[in-house]
Amino acid sequence: MEFRIAVVKGDGVGPEIVSEAMLVLDKIGAKYGHTFSYDEVIAGGCSIDINGVALTQQAIDTCKAADSVLLGAVGGPKWDHNTDAAKRPERALLGLRSALGLFANLRPAMMYKALADACPIKREIIGDGFDIVICRELTGDVYFGEHGRRESTNDWGTIGYDDMNYSEYEVERIARRAFEMARVRSKKVTSVDKANVLETSRVWRETVARVAEEYPDIELNYMYVDNAAMQLVRNPGQFDVIVTGNLFGDILSDEASMITGSIGMLPSASLNESGRGMYEPIHGSAPDIAGKGIANPIATILSCAMMLRYSFGLPTEADAIERAVEKVLDEGYRTLDIAAKGEKTIGTHEMGELIRANI
């Protein structure tokens, strides 16, 4: 099969890690008989330098025409002080999310047995480890409701307000995505809300319950967000797929990342209704280590595995990448960020080469 991928290498370590990931895709192509072609897109800080804005219409058009987008990271100290919104690197991310209609953000958080020591949770709690995917709604909720300020009628000064809302339509489509995903995993969905307090959450819960009737093979439970935050550190192994709104998902996905112990290992996917997506590591552009050849490329490589699984319908190929990563870790190879004190480390390219050799 043939696939066109728009590649946004971005800033900082972006070009180094994305180049390794592209070579991994090429290896998959050669082994399984697929062709991946790449359209390089300039976006983020580098685009501000070249085009004066973080995201051009041409960049958007190229990404929209592709079968999916692979992104490294954008931003860095050179542009972080810019006040004009069009000249802020993150504008590229927000602009692409909205242009591509990406409503579902998938963030896996799993513990590799070989990296168990990096997990900040005690061994007796993590037991056999955990393998969670947080399925976060990305285009609604309090972030996109009406924002404003008004003066209080007593002497309490200015009041800031942000309208939290979810339509049944928005909840249905993210819930379906979560149930579908659970079907190819451990068949369990936890819907996280705050239905004891928020009307938005009550609509959320009722809608999730209705969608669940279409998926009798999936076990569904509900959890209030405060309890979910606690359970993630108390017993992360109880979760499979967590589906939640934009605000709660924002916080819980960062918490889930932290309990894995390494930011350089975690991929993400943001999908639209047609199943196309933008795939990127969860970490930033790591300007402190950029250009040194020591960044961990695994989060980006695993993002490619997600692309193969969720947008291209190639689960066997995705498995091959994930197994290769696990094998290299089991053999004891480490980049600096995941190495224990005194452990020998390898660079970005060497890690990429080892993963490719194991595919």
162 by DSSP, 3-state: which? strand
Residue 325 and residue 291 in contact, taking contact as beta carbons nearer than 8 Å = no
Instruction: Tell whether residue 245 is a contact of ligand NAD (CB under 6 A).
Output: no
- Total chain residues near ligand NAD (CB under 6 A): 22
Distance CA 159, CA 171 (A): 29
Residue with smaller CB distance to ligand NAD, 231 or 345: 345
163 is annotated as an active-site residue = no
Q: How far is the CB of 299 from ligand NAD (least distance, A)?
A: 6
254 is annotated as an active-site residue = yes
Q: How far is the CB of 27 from ligand NAD (least distance, A)?
A: 20
Instruction: Tell whether residue 76 is a contact of ligand NAD (CB under 6 A).
Output: yes
Residue with smaller CB distance to ligand NAD, 233 or 258: 258
Other Cβ atoms closer than 10 A to 153: 7
12 by DSSP, 3-state: which? coil
Other Cβ atoms closer than 10 A to 274: 10
Instruction: Tell whether residue 289 is a contact of ligand NAD (CB under 6 A).
Output: yes
Instruction: Tell whether residue 163 is a contact of ligand NAD (CB under 6 A).
Output: no
Tell me how far CA of residue 212 lies from CA of 83, 174, 179, 205, in angstroms. 45, 12, 8, 10
Instruction: Tell whether residue 49 is a contact of ligand NAD (CB under 6 A).
Output: no
Say which of 143, 187, 188, 222 is annotated catalytic. 143
Instruction: Tell whether residue 352 is a contact of ligand NAD (CB under 6 A).
Output: no
Distance CA 62, CA 326 (A): 33
194 is annotated as an active-site residue = yes
Instruction: Tell whether residue 347 is a contact of ligand NAD (CB under 6 A).
Output: no
Distance CA 192, CA 178 (A): 12
Residues 290-309 as x/- pattern, contact with ligand NAD by CB under 6 A: -----xx--x----------
Distance CA 302, CA 96 (A): 21
Say which of 27, 67, 112, 194 is annotated catalytic. 194
Query: Mind giving me the DSSP string for 138-157?
Result: -S-GGGTS-EEEEE-SSSS-
Residues 92-121 as x/- pattern, contact with ligand NAD by CB under 6 A: -x----------------------------
Instruction: Tell whether residue 80 is a contact of ligand NAD (CB under 6 A).
Output: yes
Distance CA 215, CA 137 (A): 19
Residue with smaller CB distance to ligand NAD, 72 or 140: 72
Residue 238 has what DSSP assignment? G
Other Cβ atoms closer than 10 A to 157: 7
Residues 4-33 as x/- pattern, contact with ligand NAD by CB under 6 A: ---------x---x----------------
Q: Which residues bind ligand NAD (CB under 6 A)?
A: 13, 17, 73-76, 80, 93, 263-264, 280, 283-289, 295-296, 299, 337
The set of catalytic residues is 143, 194, 226, 250, 254
